[in-house]
Amino acid sequence: MSHAPHELASDFPEYAEQISALRQSDAHFARLADAYHDINRDVHRAETDVEPTSDDRLSEMRKKRMALKDEIYGLLSR
C-alpha cells in the first residue's frame, strides 16, 4: 500500500524525535500513537476504496482520528 497521509511524523516533523522517544518511554503515549496509526490506516483504506465504507462510518473514523491527534499534540507540546 502507498504511504498513508496524516502520519504523525509527517504532520509534526518538528516533533519526530520526541514522538519516537515517547513511544519508547511512555506507555500511554505509545497506546495513543498506535490507536492513531490504526485509525489513520483505516481512514486511508476507506478513502482509497481499498475497504469501502459508508459516509457515516468514514466521518466517525475521521472524528476519532482528529480527537487522537489533538490529544497526541497536547502531550507533545506540553
Condensed to tens digits (0 to 9), the pLDDT of residues 2-52 reads 457 889 999 999 999 999 999 999 999 999 999 999 999 999 999 999 999
DSSP classification of residue 50: S
Q: Does residue 62 sit within a domain?
A: yes
Structural domain for 46, as ranges? 15-76
Rounded to two decimals, the pTM is 0.89
Residue 5: half-sphere exposure toward Cβ, Cα within 13 Å: 6
Q: Does residue 47 sit within a domain?
A: yes
Q: Does residue 8 sit within a domain?
A: no
Q: Does residue 32 sit within a domain?
A: yes
**Residue 73 and residue 49: Cα distance in Å, rounded?**
29
- At residue 53, the 3 state secondary structure works out as coil
Q: Does residue 5 sit within a domain?
A: no
Number of domains in the chain: 1
